[in-house]
Amino acid sequence: MIKASLRGLLHRKLRLTLAVVAIVLSVGFLAGSIVLGDTLNARFSGLFRTVNENVAVQVQPNDDRGETPPMLTDADLANLKVDGVDKVVGDVSANGVIPFRSDTGKAVTAQATLAMGVGPEGDQLGLVEKRRGEWPVSSGDVAISANTAKLAKVGLNDEIKIFIPRLGETRTYRVSAIVGFAGGRDSLAGETLILFQLDHAQQLFYNKSGVYAGASFSAKEGVSQADLKKRIEAKLPKGFKATTGQEATEEASNAAADQFGVFTIILSAFAGIAAFVGIFLIYNTFNIIVAQRSRELALLRAMGASWGQVIGAVLLEALIVGGVGATLGLAAGIGVGVGAEAWLSNALEIQLPSGGVVVSPWAVLWSYVVGVIVTVIAAFIPAIKASMVPPVAAMREVVRPDKSLLVLSIIGAAFVVPGAALLFWALTGIGALTALVLGGGVLLIFIGVALLSPLLAKPVVRLVGALIGRGQAGKLGVRNALRNPRRTAVTAAALMIGVTLISLAATVAQSFKTSITEILGGDFGVEVMIQAPPTAPPTGEAGFNPQALEKVKQLPGVTDVAAWHITIDSSLEGQPAFLAATDVAVAQKMWKLETISGELRTLGAQELVVDHKMAEAAKWKVGDKLDVGIGRTQKQYTLVGIYKASPTVQGPILGMPAVDDFAGKLAYQGFVSLEDNADVAATVTKVEEIMKDYPGVTVGDMSAYVKQTGQVFDFLVNAITVLLGVALVIALLGIINTLLLSIVERTRELGLVRAIGLSRGGVVRMIGVESVLIAVFGCLLGVALGIGLAAAAVKALIDLEIMTTFALPWVNLVTYVGVALIFGVIAALWPARRAAKLNVLDAIAYE
Amino acid sequence: MSAATLCDMNSPMNAAARAVDVWKVYGSGEAQVIALRGVSLEVERGKYTAIMGPSGSGKSTLMHCLAGLDSVTRGQVAVGDTVVTGLSDSGLTKLRREKVGFVFQQFNLLPTLTAEENILLPLAIAGRKADPDWLKTVIDTVGLGDRLKHRPSELSGGQQQRVACARALVSRPEVIFADEPTGNLDSRSGADILGFLRRSVSEFGQTIVMVTHDANAASYADRVIFLADGRIVDEITAPTAEAVLDKIKSLDVMAGADNDQG
């Protein structure tokens, strides 16, 4: 029995090839994502090993958040220099210290920006090596890395402009030294590095001399890291912890791995979608093969094979196909992963030595799990069907009438209804499981709609067929697409999935864009907007000094200015909360905020306002005392006003005094109101001039901002479309596969229509029409489902006052249908060629 | 082949189809099989011609070559005034649309189309309209009036073959080629089909070439051609079933004698 099924497999290898290709594509995508993540990780682990090479023990505060983390003093450092310590280096460092280019006057853009304090003897731990010049000994000097020099276009003894985030201003220094890293590298990973004279750095970063954020210790020969850690721990001041160099490397690597992990998870999710689409293709392949083999299977049954043996035989085939696909996919994935990693490292200018190709056991395990499970799941129903072929079918042609679609449709509905319920549950309540519930709901809806789609196939294909099925060949193509609605529907459903997700993304994006235009085009008193670099985290370390707005306020025609600060490292009544701080009186005027209760005025210290939705949900009223946590500080704030939430302004808002507790003091956004007849363009130019010293800060009128936001959404939609490319290609293969198998099945018919006068071109047209109908049907289903899901999502967002309007991206949607049409034509090329080349006589005589 | 024959091939003629010195060789070397060895034949217009012979005699090959379904290795074939030999695919397509009709042993109807749509398919493919009077005549003759809206799967074998015959007739081709049309039918349904083909020749002047191995079927024809070993070995006109059977027996004896010698 096993032998018979293996023999059968070899005979059908061509027919199974596309199934294998589908598995290779989805497994390859998945394995590629994992290998990419692991290999990038290895490269970065190498970075942290290099950085911590000479560090035996590191001392850091337990909690370094907020404005005033605990500091080490010179006395602490001396005290910690226990027996076994070779050298101690106090850590004086800051993020967001950005050099400006000497030629354009614009801020340098780099992967990361490092700034440190350095003593007169330079780096004691030997990571940074001086190449030329002298270590900075005066407050006006800095040493910069060769990479920084290259990016900022400055040389030794040149002047360099540097932005200091804590001061919110730009200062000019002299380059006293050019430095590099061990191994002759200009940078570790494309970052900029600026070394200030130690005492000056302490003043700049901490506003206080003789203090350090932490310290690194090197060990004397023969002292182990663990031993040294124990000795140092015994003397640690309160609020600090010690880690070994090794632990620090691991921690840093793990933190980086978490970031890549998110990236890998996103890619893997798309790989999972591709695998899901592959199920449809493989299901169809096995289904058609089993149908074509029913005589052979019946013969086996007539000779005494049990139904279990027949199921086993089909599943064994699936197992082999899955195994072969997974193996090839894993190999392809390793290639793709390594290639992508090399390309990415190059694109990001990561000048690290490669950590080697990393193929973790997870990559191998997942490849086989997905490859084999997907195939076996897909082959399961065909296997059951195969076992139900009656032995008598071997003796005569058993006519199988069209089965009613009723049962299938009821099962489909049984999936769609709970799927929709999950979806609405996920969209109304936001919780920890939201993503899971949402994903599960969408998955159920997909399966349900796929099961319902045979029911829809007839009317939709007829309708579209009436448009494109011209001529007799076209009409025959329409008939062929309709003759097996299940097959047409399953093939189309594979395409539907990708198109649904793309349409969903495009529709939500379009709704967002339209909402933003509506919101910001509304009757507000804001004409000019100042924006911190959107790529920077909103920690107050990137942005602009709110004092610069004072200069803006002096400009002619300016009536009001408001700076907005935000912090995400914060909580309200113990719940993590995104807090904003601004002059509420100005904001009220600018955004026409409606007072629900209390008053909207310039807030003092420890006062806040919230929107009416929050207040209602938490049953807060004016006068209540609320716990506000910012960084490590916890204070009680008084609720002085409640305003009406709108898509523009919502959430808790604090007064400007609260910014003292924020980690960074820079404003994230600024808004400017002008007199009615003021020249907006001229004002924008003048504000830009004022803001030019703040790296990455952009100034624009509101329409420019709207356009910029729109581009972000367009980019997201494009990125999603590209990531769904593999799923779309598998769907395309699915159409080719179905057509090829159908052609084999209909060989005699093809011979006949040729014998009674259909030309080769006619055959090509006939198959082309069938193909286009399948593709367009799948696309229309996808577009419809995508719009439906988007409508649900947008409604939820409108209820949350995040959006105002549901809008359809007509251009995108029409393009998708057009592309599906082209897809259909492409999918038909090979099958149609094969069909047209059939010898008429052979075809008629084909058994 | 002489210049005179070539000239004949290209001029209008009485024969509905003709083969001149047709050879058909399959394979090469050791595996070479010669299916036809210089067969020349004229199919008379308005007559019912049967081709008979034992298995492997080349009768099906001869018909396929005459109909342009298969190419010849040597020699020439014409249908009406169209030289089939050397026609391009589009030329063959045109020939099939305009000059020939087929009836197959396996019926070969399209399962997606109703009986009526199957009958009209050749005209639809050629983009022509059916002559309603003729269509009615054909449908009445095959006796399918109440079955026209049925799918092939809802028809018996005999009914399906009647649909196939109507399909071949409806475009009034120069020649209808029937390949063992009763091979898959019980004797009663077979007799219906044969009677129907006979009537289409007698009443409508249709030319039919039929391959069969059934002496009774051949007896419906005006003329029976006997093939053996790739050659035409004999023919009889106005045959009876008995005459055909006798002829087959004598040919078998000859074939046996050949084998004894060879």
User: Is the pLDDT confidence value at B262 over 50?
Assistant: no
Average pLDDT for A516-528: 77
Put simply, the answer to whether B125 touches A749 (Cβ < 8 Å) is no
Q: How close is the nearest chain A Cα to the Cα of B250, in Å? A: 31
Q: Which residue of B has its CA nearest to A755?
A: B96
Answer yes or no: is B27 within a domain.
no
User: Is the pLDDT confidence value at A12 over 70?
Assistant: no
Residue pair B41/B19 in contact by the 8 Å Cβ criterion: yes
Pick the closest to residue A300 from A534, A3, A513, A97 (CA basis). Answer: A3
Write the ipTM.
Answer: 0.80
Q: Which residues of B touch A844 (CB under 8 A)?
A: 69, 104, 106, 108
Interface residue ranges in chain A relative to chain B, Cβ cutoff 8 Å = 399, 401, 471-473, 475-476, 479-480, 482-483, 748-749, 751-760, 762, 840-841, 844
Give the tens place of pLDDT for each residue, A551-605.
999 998 899 999 999 888 888 998 888 899 999 999 888 888 889 999 999 999 9
CA distance A276 to A283: 11
Residue A778 one-letter amino acid: G
Q: How close is the nearest chain A Cα to the Cα of B175, in Å? A: 13
pLDDT for the residue numbered A194: 94
Most A CBs within 10 Å: which of B61, B65, B69, as the mutation test of the A interface? B69
Please state the domain extents for chain A.
56-254, 533-696
Put simply, the answer to whether B112 touches A752 (Cβ < 8 Å) is no
Q: Cα–Cα distances in Å, from A785 out to A76, A465, A690?
A: 65, 21, 49
Return the exposure string of A573-586: e unless at least 16 CB atoms fall within 10 Å of the residue's CB, then b: eeeebebbbbbbbb
pLDDT for the residue numbered B43: 93
Answer yes or no: is B108 within a domain.
yes
Average pLDDT for A292-306: 74
Judged by average pLDDT, the poorest of A54-68, A306-320, A683-697, B131-145 is: A54-68
pLDDT for the residue numbered A6: 62
Give the tens place of pLDDT for each residue, A627-658.
999 887 889 999 999 998 887 788 899 999 99
Q: Which residues pair with A529 in a beta bridge?
A: A671, A700
Q: Which residue of B has its CA nearest to A766?
A: B125
pLDDT for the residue numbered A276: 87
**Which of the listed ranges A113-127, A140-154, A713-727 does the model predict with the highest average pLDDT?**
A140-154
pLDDT for the residue numbered A358: 80
Which residue in the set A471, A757, A760 is minimally distant from B89, CB to CB? A760
Average pLDDT for B34-44: 92
Strand (E) or helix (H) holding A134: none
Pick the closest to residue A237 from A79, A82, A69 (CA basis). Answer: A79
pLDDT for the residue numbered B111: 84
Q: pLDDT band at A816, cuts 50/70/90? A: very high
Q: How close is the nearest chain A Cα to the Cα of B197, in Å? A: 18
Q: How close is the nearest chain B Cα to the Cα of A843, in Å? A: 11
- CATH number of the domain that residue B128 is part of: 3.40.50.300
pLDDT for the residue numbered B7: 40
Q: Which residues of A touch B102 (CB under 8 A)?
A: 755-756
Write out the residue range of the structural domain in which residue B207 sits.
44-71+84-261
Give the tens place of pLDDT for each residue, A655-668.
999 988 888 888 99
Q: How close is the nearest chain B Cα to the Cα of A369, in Å? A: 41
Strand (E) or helix (H) holding A79: helix A74-80
Which residue in the set A399, A475, A755 is minimally distant from B96, CB to CB? A755
Q: How close is the nearest chain B Cα to the Cα of A14, in Å? A: 26
CA distance B53 to A551: 110
DSSP state of A295: H
Give the tens place of pLDDT for each residue, A765-811.
999 999 999 999 999 999 999 999 899 888 888 877 778 889 999 99
Mean per-residue pLDDT of chain A: 85
Q: pLDDT band at B8, cuts 50/70/90? A: very low
Answer yes or no: is B4 within a domain.
no
Task: Note the pTM of the prediction, 2 decimals.
Answer: 0.78
Residue pair A473/A765 in contact by the 8 Å Cβ criterion: yes
Give the tens place of pLDDT for each residue, B63-82.
989 988 888 999 999 998 88
Q: Residue A571 burial (CB < 10 Å; 0-12/13-18/19+)?
A: middle
Answer yes or no: is B32 within a domain.
no
* Count of structural domains within chain B: 1
Count of CB pairs separated by less than 8 Å, A with B: 70
Residues with Cβ within 8 Å of A829's Cβ and at least 6 positions away in sequence, in order, are none
Most B CBs within 10 Å: which of A756, A837, A841, as the mutation test of the B interface? A756
Residue pair A191/A351 in contact by the 8 Å Cβ criterion: no
Residues with Cβ within 8 Å of A500's Cβ and at least 6 positions away in sequence, in order, are A446, A781, A782, A783, A785, A786, A789
Q: Which residues of A touch B106 (CB under 8 A)?
A: 748, 844
Put simply, the answer to whether B69 touches A472 (Cβ < 8 Å) is no
